[in-house]
Amino acid sequence: MTVLVVGGGVIGCATAYALAKAGCAVTLLERAAPGAEASGAAAGLLAPLGESTQTAFARLALASWRLYPGVVSELRERTGIDVEHVTRGTIYPQTATASAEQAREWALAPEFGVQVLEGRDVQELEPALSPKVRRAILVRGDHWINNQRLVTAYAQAAVSAGVELAVGTEVTDVVVERGRARGVAAGAERFEGDAVLLAAGAWTSQLTGALGARLPVEPRRGQMIALAHLPPVLTYCVHGEAYLVPRPSGELLIGATVENAGFRREITAEGVAGLLRAAIDLVPSVRDLPITRTWYGFRPWAPDSLPILGPWPGIEGLWVATAHFRNGILLAPITAQVMCEWMLGGRPSIEVKEFLPDRFLRERPK
């Protein structure tokens, strides 16, 4: 089977790689370079314990988290790239998002090693934390990776498995004939395929306008800051009003805003000030660290904040994998697995009903 994957973010690269390993002839079409948008901008947190561990989304997230150790070693073997998978754990100061109830909910996932820290135990574990933090939850299972390296590794692995990478190729249309996806157009150029997967992140809806119904995927901007982190101040990731992510390669990432700002490519004074204020409040010594870079990215968001995965109703051979919002890095391995199973004619190995595009496409295409 010949498959065209539109979008070279983590979702497109991971799925193209899985499809090629399964024997498909895959072309990945990316208008810029792999990881140029949200997937390169993210913080790389792999934190699947949300508000509840009992939802379909939580099951998807947990399944993906469980795939990570295997993915990390497979990518290292194939490409030589170390994606900096750090498994120390994340501290959630109780002054912010976490609560006793949260700790109880999280404790339902025993493999995450959830532990409540009180009094001096907090600073004994992470001395740089503000003395104001007298209670915190340590989630040993909340890991992180270097997402820029992850996308590069997935893209290289995909190429090594036979994927043709068409960078600098902006897809303008999906070609549909007699109710079947036949390929895509990139201006005057046409690419033919038996199946088309739309994985264009926050831009996916722009490709669906001519399909009879528009997928309501929108951007949610996130601003980020990196500080030089040598010698390191933090050992653990700290997640309060902002999160602080210590990378082995010597940066401390601080993120992230969540803004409805369209595709405005801007870092704002308010965004940076808010993140720095929150970070310094949690870890006062970061105030002395030099800022090395600031950036932004556009998370693909759907109105119910859930991913959109599956076949496009009414058009044979057309598929979507997008709207991973705040968790696309975490969800890449399971998305690739599920889409590959599905596109090759099998049944997804995990419950996917809640993620079908049908929930937004009441109007059938003509």
The radius of gyration of the chain from alpha carbons, rounded to an integer in Å, stands at: 21
Q: Does 153 bind ligand FAD (CB under 6 A)?
A: no
Q: Does 217 bind ligand FAD (CB under 6 A)?
A: no
- What is the nearest approach in angstroms of ligand FAD to the Cβ of residue 31? 4
Q: Which is nearer to ligand FAD, 198 or 233 (CB)?
A: 198
Q: Which residues, in sequence order, are bridge partners of residue 177?
A: 180
Choices 27-35, 78-86, 155-163, 356-364; region in contact with ligand FAD by CB under 6 A: 27-35
Environment class of residue 295 by beta-carbon count within 10 Å: exposed (0-12), middle (13-18) or buried (19+)?
Answer: middle
Q: Which residues, in sequence order, are bridge partners of residue 328?
A: none
Choices 10-18, 75-83, 132-140, 153-161; region in contact with ligand FAD by CB under 6 A: 10-18
Tell me which amino acid residue 271 is. G
Going by C-alpha positions, the residue among 16, 249, 245 that lies closest to residue 143 is 245
Q: Does 41 bind ligand FAD (CB under 6 A)?
A: yes
Choosing from 3, 4, 5, 11, the residue that interacts with ligand FAD (CB under 6 A) is: 11
What is the Cα–Cα distance from 305 to 302, expressed in whole angstroms? 5
CB 48 within 8 A of CB 64: yes
Choosing from 82, 84, 121, 170, the residue that interacts with ligand FAD (CB under 6 A) is: 170
- Interface pattern 179-208 for ligand FAD (x via CB under 6 A): --------------------xxxxx---x-
Q: Does 12 bind ligand FAD (CB under 6 A)?
A: yes
What is the Cα–Cα distance from 331 to 62, expressed in whole angstroms? 9
Element (H, E) at 241: none
Contact positions vs ligand FAD (CB under 6 A): 6-12, 29-32, 36-39, 41-45, 170-171, 199-203, 207, 222, 224, 255-256, 297, 299-300, 322, 324-330
